[in-house]
Amino acid sequence: MEELTRVDPNEDPYLALRTAFSVSICVILADPLGVTQPMMPVVLGMSLMSNQRGALNPRSFMGPVMLPVMAFVFSWLAAATVSEPMLFVLVNIALAGAGIGLMLFKGSRLGVVLTVFPAMMSMSVLYSDQALVAIRDSMATGGLIVGVTAVVLNILFPPQTARVHIEQPKPFATENPAAELLIRMAVYVPIMLMTYATGDMNLLIVPIMLAFICAEPDRGGRLQQLIDRGGGTIVGAVVAVGAMAIYYVVPQFPVLVALIASITFFLIDKMTTGASRPLYYQYICSVALVMLLSSTFGARDAFEVVVQRVVLTSGAMVGAIALLSLLEAVFLPRKGMAGSPSAAGAA
């Protein structure tokens, strides 16, 4: 998969400020615009704004523009196939296979779209029609909010560089692409189908985390994902608990907005200045925001939100890494892997 590169603070000193303003605006506008799932536009806004690299170009705004389109396309697809179980399963398997294949062999972010968003819509429609509409509308409205705020904030606080960032994905080169993909699908698909069978929206994080593990070519990349996303989940939970404690003492909406903005600004700034990989800080921010908003806007207990997310994420990722390694050892014995550090050293 493509690495999330570090931003040079001299090229874009306002990255953290733009992102913090964006998530604050999403939270403030959620209720007036009737967004029933405020964590959706907030997390999408944080991710899209903090992913910005280099000078502005048309692609910088493609994410917010495409979100409403993807929301309606994937929600329609889920609603159209849910009454035909076999077709529903086949469509989801095909989309997951295409998504993981694109992430693995092309390093494309389109693979994330084809894997994560259909899973969200499919899980929602299995839960209820109202849940599907809520997720669809929240994603579509969130895309519009983020798109407008991205334009305004980039005018007010633009990047200080004319260099256009060119993505450098790291596709996986192998002699057996079909076998590599089948092994990953053998791990991902059963978990995806079992998650759908439960009808529990809270378990959706499991196939999402598995998708990122399956999209890595070797154990080194998977362990990095475990550190970034698994470790980020634990640290994000700690941050969320601290924010919840403050909000519990002063349960006022301005305090919630200030907490969300502060968390976002500090962690996105760390994406530029911190010692760890940028994805680590971005995922800490994502987890902290989701947990904080789920516990304040949702009906679930705060302790339940935190513990369930940590246990599910860590357990799913460790289990997937172990199972993938076992299947590769049995069906794809090899001395080294193309593109891996060990293979490069041997060459």
> How far are the Cα atoms of 281, 286, 311, 324 from residue 235, in angstroms, in the given order?
9, 11, 13, 26
Residues 212, 205: Cα–Cα separation, whole Å: 11
**Phi and psi for 54 in degrees, rounded to 5?**
70, -160
pLDDT for 217 equals 87
- Helix orientation angle between 232-249 and 302-331, rounded to the nearest 10 degrees: 170
Q: How confident is the model at residue 301 (pLDDT cuts 50, 70, 90)?
A: low
For residues 82 and 85, what is the distance between their CA atoms, to the nearest angstrom?
6
Instruction: Of 203, 220, 204, 221, give the one whose Cα is nearest residue 212.
Output: 221
The Cβ of residue 173 has, within 10 Å, a number of other Cβ atoms equal to: 12
347 compared with 217, residue with greater pLDDT: 217
Percent of the chain past pLDDT 90, that is, above it, reads 41
Residue 213 is predicted with a pLDDT of 92
Mean pLDDT over each residue of the chain, to the nearest integer: 86
Answer yes or no: is pLDDT of 344 > 70: no
Q: What is the pLDDT of residues 147-197, one digit of tens each?
A: 889 889 988 998 888 887 777 777 888 888 999 999 999 999 999 999 999
In whole angstroms, what is the distance from residue 255 CA to residue 249 CA?
10
Mean pLDDT of 50-56: 83
> How confident is the model over 13-25, as a mean pLDDT?
94
Tell me how far apart the alpha carbons of residues 289 and 259 are, in angstroms, rounded to a whole number.
9
Residue with tokens 């000193």: 13
What is the end-to-end Cα distance of the chain in Å, rounded?
Answer: 23
**For 225-235, how does the pLDDT look when each residue is reduced to its tens digit (9 = 90+)?**
888 988 898 99
pLDDT at site 302: 65
Alpha-carbon distance of 213 to 318, in angstroms, equals 9
| pLDDT score recorded for residue 337 | 47
Q: Which residues are bridge partners to 54 per DSSP?
A: 164
Q: Which of 155-164, 247-256, 336-345 has the lowest mean pLDDT?
A: 336-345
Please answer whether residues 95 and 189 qualify as being in contact, where contact means their C-beta atoms are separated by less than 8 angstroms.
no
Where in the chain are the domains? 15-333
**266-299: per-residue pLDDT in tens?**
999 999 998 899 999 999 999 999 889 888 876 5
pLDDT of residue 338: 45
**What is the spatial distance between Cα 263 and Cα 265, in angstroms, rounded to a whole number?**
6
pLDDT of 268 reads: 95
Residue 180 token pair? 């590599």
User: Which pLDDT does position 299 carry in this prediction?
Assistant: 59
Contacts of 245 (CB under 8 A, 6+ apart): none
Please give the pLDDT value at position 346. 41
User: What's the predicted TM-score (pTM) here?
Assistant: 0.87
pLDDT tens digit sequence for 70-87: 889 999 999 999 999 999
Higher-scoring residue by pLDDT: 338, 208:
208
Taking only the tens place, the pLDDT of each residue in 124-154 is 999 888 888 888 888 888 888 888 898 899 8
